[in-house]
Amino acid sequence: MSHDSAIGIHDLSFATTEFVLPHTALAGHNGTEIGKYHIGIGQRSMSVPAADEDIVTLGAAAAAPIIARHGTDRIRTVVFATESSIDQAKSAGVYVHSLLGLQSACRVVELKQACYGATAALQFAIGLVRRDPGQQVLVVASDVSKYELDSPGEATQGAAAVAMLVSADPALVRIENASGLFTADVMDFWRPNYRDAALVDGQESISAYLQAVEGSWKDYGEQGGRSLDEFAAFCYHQPFTKMAYKAHRHLLNYAGHDTDKDDIERAVGQTVAYNAVIGNSYTASVYLGLAALLDQAEDLTDRPVGFLSYGSGSVAEFFAGTVVPGYRQHLRSEANLEAIARRKPVDYAGYRELHERSLPTDGGDHSTPAQTTGRFRLAGISNHKRLYQAR
Active site residues: 83, 115, 237
Instruction: Enumerate residues 6+ apart whose C-beta is below 8 A from 256.
Output: none
**Residue 347 DSSP class:** -
CB atoms within 10 A of CB 256: 7
List the beta strands (DSSP E) in the chain.
7-16, 19-22, 45-48, 75-81, 107-111, 136-145, 158-168, 173-183, 189-190, 199-200, 233-236, 304-311, 315-323, 344-345, 366-367, 376-382, 385-390
Nearest Cα to 317, choosing from 132, 172, 115, 149?
115
Judge contact between 254 and 261, C-beta under 8 A: no
List the beta strands (DSSP E) in 201-311.
233-236, 304-311
DSSP 3-state of 162:
strand
Helices 285-296 and 333-341 sit at what angle, rounded to 10 degrees? 120
Q: Report the alpha-carbon distance of residue 290 to residue 328 in Å, rounded.
A: 13
Judge contact between 53 and 372, C-beta under 8 A: yes
Judge contact between 274 and 292, C-beta under 8 A: yes
* AA identity, residue 347: D
SS3 content of the chain, % helix, strand, coil (to 5): 40, 25, 35
Cβ-based burial of 66 (10 A; exposed 0-12, middle 13-18, buried ≥19): buried
User: Radius of gyration (Cα) for the chain, nearest Å?
Assistant: 20
Q: Report the alpha-carbon distance of residue 281 to residue 39 in Å, rounded.
A: 19
